[in-house]
Amino acid sequence: MYRYDEYDQSIVDARVEEFRDQVERRLSGALTEDQFKPLRLMNGLYLQLHAYMLRVAVPYGTLDSRQMRMLGHIARKYDRGYGHFTTRQNIQYNWIKLADAPDILAELATVQMHAIQTSGNCIRNISSDQFAGAAADEVADPRPWAELLRQWSTFHPEFTYLPRKFKIAVIAADEDRAAMRLHDIGIQLLTRDGVLGAKIFVGGGMGRTPMIAHEVKDFITADHLMSYLEACLRVYNRYGRRDNIYKARIKILLHEIGVDAYREQVEAEFAAIRDLGIDPPLAELERITAMFTGPDFASDAPDTVDRADPDFAVWLDQNVAAHKQPGHAIVTISLKPIGGIPGDASADQIDLVADLAERYGHDELRVTHAQNIVLPHVRKADLYVIWTALRDAGLAEANLDLISDIIACPGLDYCSLANARSIPLAQKIGERFAGRQRELGELKLKISGCINACGHHHAGHIGILGVDKKGTENYQLLLGGSGAEDVSLGKITGPGFDEDGVVDAIERVTDRYVALREADERFLDTYRRVGMQPFKEAIYG
Amino acid sequence: MVDPITVNTNAGETLLRFRDDVVHDEPAVTLDAFLGQTNATAVRLEAGDDARELLEHLGQIALVEISFPTFRDGRGYSAARILREAGFEGELRAAGDVLVDQIPHMRRCGFDSFAPEKPVDAATLTKLLALYPQPYQKAADARVPVWKLRHG
Ligand code: HEM
Ligand code: SF4
């Protein structure tokens, strides 16, 4: 894992001081709310329906047990005893007092954490594959590159007042576990002629106009990554639309001028800046990479698991993935208990997970974009004790990638922009399908409470969008989206439903799927094979 | 220069300058006017103007003023860097809705003079400018990025 040196620490400490000063100026009236807003947003502080919400960065979703415990401590001391893990691998707290925010940042800084650029029209937290460093299919660990990007983007002087927020994801495997192509910039590491480099995709995003990122550069080596990305960002900063916030994302710029014109402008900009010394030397990437060599795995760890306990065996098959090291495994801890709030974790659960990581998991944890937690490096021999501890804490739901592993935005319960509630709907769906979800197999369901698409509904195998219909909450159903390597955008089935109606409609869709499926086909594959029509007939008769 | 010198121009503006040469007193002309007449030495760029159009004339320009219609409009940061990257050494002025918390970043992008619409508190600015010990990136100022400090 990355460890701060004195430079990193002094920058994060300075940020705490700066924000303390800004909050004091706001509380004294020296700053108006309008002037304070962009400043607090760059520290992840939003004003929601009931209180301030603070979003804390978990860079590329990686943290250790000490950092995890700090997240629990903050939940206990400054919030109502829980936190909410987000689709960008961060955590947010919903009940924060403005006057406490500087102290929270100061506490975070003691464990090398911060809330820098977790909101605002700047480069946001860099996200990555939650299985990085553990997956057998990666060409390299993507996180050293993500850390390089974190440093480069932190307080970037030119790109702090972009037309709109800017999200970057880095992966290093063909299987895309980070929704890379739904980011403003998606980076995929690959090797060419033995050299590690990056393929750059630009212009993905969700929101009201979802788009899949286009390939803009087929290969760029590490020694020119920063200058190339500066060129990408500069073209956007200069020519992205600023007249309408709904058209301000980079995806709209690419859509309006075309990917070829965008690429040409980037190349011209790149030619002008590539030799100006913007790129750090390769020694810097090497310095960072050395901190990600990973734990010393026991080479003699037994590779078999006792499956005698049937409940454990179910969890093992659903939530445990193959590790690159024999005798080891990757555990995904579901934060989606049936009837719970997707992504929420109590301070006690956070502490427990931290303890497990410390005792059994080489002190590493990950947050996933599907709002779950991962123990990336555990011995197979320890799986049963881990499962037992999780079960006792209500954290052993065996539903990874099943229909109840729902991504849901905060919706009308918290969000002032919402048309409809997301959380109660997620709870109803979980309860309705709990008994037969395994029979339905992989089925990613995602809910957004309005067109802003925080809940990734465009990328759900089944997506649900909350709309306002003459003052009542209404839900549209979408089918066929995917955020993975087979990325696609869902299509609306037809007229919307009320809350119970949409749950019924999903049941008719899944019944039809079971009737139509061939062999082990996933719902998404059946949909792609037969198209929308049979499902429309099932829903609307 | 670490602390700015405050000057009042003939036009009644208050300027914060990080340069000790005399204030250029020729009025700045628009980009169109500049490109149409060859002897102007001061130009004002609106946020949407292309700074690159000035590049072949930099030798004759003493002052470029870049307008910030609202503090949210960040185009001027790129314009400033483009001019500095091309070797412009004259005065680079940020004018308009410029907030005190933005000035440190603007300094890094190459601005060395500021004409904020609303007055800027000098004590706050001094504090902010000294706050960050070192930056992570190389930009248009002389500050040494962390990676350079790490690797020499
Ligand atoms: C409750 C307060 C929230 C508000 C007011 C809010 C607002 C918004 C808005 C306005 C957008 C559209 C941005 C655009 O298209 O330019 C957006 C997108 C998004 N938000 Fe939120 N959001 C909130 C909470 C969340 C939470 C809790 C999460 C994570 C669980 C989240 C994750 C996202 C994501 C992933 C997107 C889509 C990014 C994209 O378009 O590529 N938001 N949000
Ligand atoms: S999708 Fe809409 S309702 Fe849900 S959190 Fe985002 S802005 Fe709020």
CATH of A6-109, one of 3.90.480.20, 3.40.50.300, 3.40.109.10, 1.10.3720.10: 3.90.480.20
Orientation angle between helical segments A65-78 and A347-360, nearest 10 degrees: 170
Domain map (residue ranges) of chain A = 6-109, 134-289, 310-392, 407-540
Q: Concatenated DSSP letters for A227-295?
A: HHHHHHHHHHHHHS--S-GGG-SHHHHHHHH-HHHHHHHHHHHHHHHTTSS-SPPHHHHHHHHHTTS--
Q: Are B134 and A7 a contacting pair, CB within 8 Å?
A: yes
Regarding the beta carbon of A418 and ligand 2, being less than 6 Å apart is answered: yes
Phi and psi, residue A121, nearest 5° = -90, 60
Minimal Cβ distance to B133: which of A14, A22, A273:
A14
Regarding the beta carbon of A480 and ligand 2, being less than 6 Å apart is answered: no
**With an 8 Å Cβ cutoff, is B72 touching chain A?**
yes
State the ligand closest to the CA atom of A421. Answer: 2
Q: Considering only CA atoms, which of A301, A300, A336 is closest in space to residue A318? A: A336
Q: Which residues contact A426 (CB under 8 A, 6 or more apart)?
A: A341, A342, A406, A408, A447
ipTM attached to this prediction: 0.96
The pLDDT of residue A129:
97
Q: Are A42 and A160 a contacting pair, CB within 8 Å?
A: yes
Phi and psi, residue B139, nearest 5° = -135, -150
Phi and psi, residue B101, nearest 5° = -70, -15
Please, which residues 266-295 of chain A have a Cβ atom closer than 8 Å to chain B? Answer: 272-273, 276-278, 280-281, 283-284, 287
A-chain residues near B88 (CB < 8 A):
none
Which residue is listed with tokens 């890379």?
A180
Residue B13 has pLDDT above 80, yes or no: no
The pLDDT of residue B12:
72
Q: Give tens-digit pLDDT for A146-187.
A: 999 999 999 999 999 999 999 999 999 999 999 999 999 999
Strands B91-96 and B113-116: parallel
Same fold, A134-289 and A407-540: yes
Helix spans in A79-117 (H): 101-109
A362: left (phi over 0), alpha (psi -120 to 50) or beta: left
A-chain residues near B108 (CB < 8 A):
157
Helices and strands in chain B, H and E counts: 5, 7
> Mean pLDDT throughout B6-33?
87
Query: Which residues lie with the beta carbon below 6 Å from any ligand 1 atom?
Result: A 46, 48, 86-88, 92, 164, 167, 205-207, 249, 409-410, 414-415, 417, 452-454
Using DSSP, state whether A413 is helix, strand or coil. Answer: helix
B-chain residues near A39 (CB < 8 A):
101
Beta carbons of B137 and A21 less than 8 Å apart? no
The pLDDT of residue A44:
86
Which residue is listed with tokens 């939940």?
A75
Quick one: pLDDT band at residue B1, thresholds 50, 70, 90?
Answer: low
Quick one: pLDDT band at residue B10, thresholds 50, 70, 90?
Answer: low
Rounded distance, CA A141 to CA A426, Å? 34
**With an 8 Å Cβ cutoff, is A30 touching chain B?**
yes
Q: Considering only CA atoms, which of A139, A109, A125, A131 is closest in space to residue A60? A: A125
Ligand 1 centroid to A119 CA: how many Å?
9
Ligand 1 centroid to A190 CA: how many Å?
30
State CA B46 to chain mean position distance. 13
Beta carbons of A283 and B151 less than 8 Å apart? yes
Kindly give the parts of chain A with pLDDT less than 50: none
Q: Are A186 and A215 a contacting pair, CB within 8 Å?
A: no
Please, which residues 77-136 of chain B have a Cβ atom closer than 8 Å to chain A? Answer: 77-79, 81, 85, 99, 101-102, 104-106, 108-109, 121, 124, 127-128, 131-136
pTM of the model: 0.95
A-chain residues near B134 (CB < 8 A):
7, 10-11
Third-level CATH fold of A310-392: Alpha-Beta Plaits (3.30.70)
Q: Considering only CA atoms, which of A466, A472, A473 is closest in space to residue A451? A: A466
Which chain B residue lies closest to A121 (C-alpha atoms)? B72
Phi and psi, residue A316, nearest 5° = -55, -45
Minimal Cβ distance to A284: which of B101, B138, B147:
B147
State the best of A165, A238, A243, A285 to mutate against chain B, taking most chain B CBs within 10 Å: A238
Q: Are A83 and A92 a contacting pair, CB within 8 Å?
A: yes
The continuous run of DSSP H or E covering A28 comes out as helix A6-28
Rounded distance, CA A380 to CA A389, Å? 15
Q: Which residues contact A219 (CB under 8 A, 6 or more apart)?
A: A190, A192, A197, A198, A199
The CATH code for residues A134-289 is: 3.30.413.10
Regarding the beta carbon of A449 and ligand 2, being less than 6 Å apart is answered: yes
Q: In b/e form, how buried is each residue of A331-365, taking b as 16+ CB within 10 angstroms?
A: bbbbbbbbebbbbbbbbebbbbbbebbbebbbbbb
Residue B8 has pLDDT above 90, yes or no: no
Ligand 2 centroid to A87 CA: how many Å?
12
Q: Are A456 and A446 a contacting pair, CB within 8 Å?
A: yes
Minimal Cβ distance to B133: which of A10, A22, A157:
A10
Helix spans in A308-454 (H): 310-319, 347-360, 383-392, 423-433, 437-440
Minimal Cβ distance to A234: which of B78, B127, B132:
B78
Which chain A residue lies closest to B77 (C-alpha atoms)? A158
CB atoms within 10 A of CB A165: 17
Residue B31 Cα, gap to closest chain A Cα (Å): 17
Rounded distance, CA A280 to CA A226, Å? 8
The pLDDT of residue A49:
74
Regarding the beta carbon of A450 and ligand 2, being less than 6 Å apart is answered: yes
Beta carbons of A158 and B78 less than 8 Å apart? yes
The pLDDT of residue A93:
95
DSSP 8-state assignment for residue B44: E
State the best of A42, A158, A237 to mutate against chain B, taking most chain B CBs within 10 Å: A158
Which residue is listed with tokens 């810097």?
A284
Ligand 1 centroid to A452 CA: how many Å?
6
Using DSSP, state whether A139 is helix, strand or coil. Answer: coil
CATH of A407-540, one of 3.30.70.1090, 3.40.640.10, 3.40.50.970, 3.30.413.10: 3.30.413.10
Which residue is listed with tokens 């229909």?
A403
Q: Which two tokens stand for residue A496?
A: 């919307």
Beta carbons of B150 and A284 less than 8 Å apart? yes
Beta carbons of A237 and B77 less than 8 Å apart? yes
**With an 8 Å Cβ cutoff, is A33 touching chain B?**
no
Which chain A residue lies closest to B124 (C-alpha atoms)? A21
